[in-house]
Amino acid sequence: MASQAEIARSSSGEVPFAFSELFYSRTDPRGVILAGNDVFQRVSGYDWAELLGAPHRLVRHPDTPRGVFHILWGALGKGNPMGAYVKNRAKSGQHYWVFAVMLPIAGGFLSVRLKPSSPLFGQIREIYEELIAHEQEGLDPEAAAQWLRGVAHKKGFSSYTSFMAYALGQELTARDARLERPADARTRVLTEMNEALEETAREQGRLLRSFDSLQSIPNNMRIVASRMEPTGGPISAISENYKISSQAISARLHSFAGARDSLIDRVSREVAKALFLLGCGRVLGEMTASIAAAAPAPGIDWEVERTLLLGLERDCARDGREAMLRAVEHSATLNRASAEVRRHMLGLDTIRVLGRVECGRMRDTGGLAATIDQLDAFHAEIKGRLETIMRLSEKIGLSMGSYLRASKAA
């Protein structure tokens, strides 16, 4: 039942429902409603005869950007689960917000929805208001979806999927707190892991930019060398060796951190998938228990729905564990690649030191010394970033182990 605070909000046009309540609906591939639960029917305000056989857009509210649905249907069409904050409209014209977890199933789609309450929810409403304004100015759904992906990227997430996986973790944690029950250990571990991965991706992006900036320094060394020594002299040789070594390291970095479908992308994607599937499994389990006690509804066979939900819950647990095992494998490769770059940096340091020695031998106090000073600063920055990445990688590895142990215990 709704609390007094929730009932009070109904006067502002919001339909009240409790944090303990979950919405359930199932549709065919075209989005036509085939089944739903009593929460969906009651809050939407429609009779069963009006809901069953109607398109799910019956409850769509214009304050939910079209770009959100573009992302949702794109993911579902590829066979992937997806989540979204959605503002719906009841038959009375009132509205209600949900965080929707949607999954593709044989013969259509299934959605379980909960009441959002995390701090992120407030941010999302502001984001939607801004996007709606852009859409009203003519932004099409595909461009709106790209705009949302840009928002996720600005918030530090490598993909919108990762952003929504994080959102689901936040909403489940907030819901546990609202219902005064212990936080789920696996959700906490996966959320922390997701955050560490996104920070790793950001740090690697900074590292790549540092290396790209480094590429101009050997050219400066050669220019200085041309004024100080004959062609092919020691400074020229040092600058050429430095250029070759730094380019090799930069190429290696781009291969596992910079390119699309890079190692860091793969780890992040698999962890986000595991987090999302774990969240799906949790709400599906609650939904199954709720349906077991559901009152008869015309046109709905609750045993069919319960069997379907049980199967999906098992699938989510299996697929989530498999995603985490793949993430563990990619993470191990990523750690090895990071360690390899760190070893190569030692070689680059040696070349830099040779440059400093040669600078002292030639008693240079001008351009070459300034160039070597630049190298010193870049190397200190790069070493710091590599140490941060290795620390985050270690944290991710420990979190993965904790998740697998918690998953096995559960």
- Compute CA distances 267 → 60, 262, 326, 371, whole Å: 35, 9, 8, 38
The answer to whether the CB of 385 falls within 8 A of the CB of 206 is: yes
Q: With 0-12 CB in 10 A as exposed, 13-18 as middle and 19+ as buried, what is 9?
A: middle
Coil, strand or helix at 29: coil
Beta carbons within 8 Å of 290's beta carbon, 6+ residues apart = 22, 24, 37
**115-133 tens-digit pLDDT:** 999 999 999 999 999 999 9
Q: How sure is the predictor about 91, in pLDDT bands with cuts at 50, 70 and 90?
A: very high
Find the length of the chain.
410
Pairwise CA distance, residues 31 & 38, whole Å = 19
pTM, two decimal places? 0.79
The structural domains of the chain, with segments of one domain joined by +, span: 4-174, 186-409
Pairwise CA distance, residues 134 & 146, whole Å = 12
Coil, strand or helix at 281: helix
Sign of CA dihedral 137, 139, 140, 144: negative
Assigned CATH topology for domain 4-174:
Beta-Lactamase (3.30.450)
- Report whether pLDDT(224) > 80: no
Percent of all residues in the chain with a pLDDT value above 70, rounded to a whole number: 93
pLDDT at 388: 82
Q: How sure is the predictor about 231, in pLDDT bands with cuts at 50, 70 and 90?
A: low
Beta carbons within 8 Å of 209's beta carbon, 6+ residues apart = none
**3-55 tens-digit pLDDT:** 444 444 444 589 999 999 999 999 999 999 999 999 999 999 999 999 999 99
Pairwise CA distance, residues 25 & 33, whole Å = 7
**159-185 tens-digit pLDDT:** 898 899 889 989 999 999 999 998 887
pLDDT at 21: 96
Pairwise CA distance, residues 263 & 340, whole Å = 14
Among candidate residues 326, 336, 283, 301, the one with its CA nearest the CA of residue 24 = 283
- Report whether pLDDT(264) > 60: yes
Pairwise CA distance, residues 49 & 54, whole Å = 9
Pairwise CA distance, residues 145 & 148, whole Å = 5
Pairwise CA distance, residues 201 & 389, whole Å = 9
The answer to whether the CB of 186 falls within 8 A of the CB of 407 is: yes
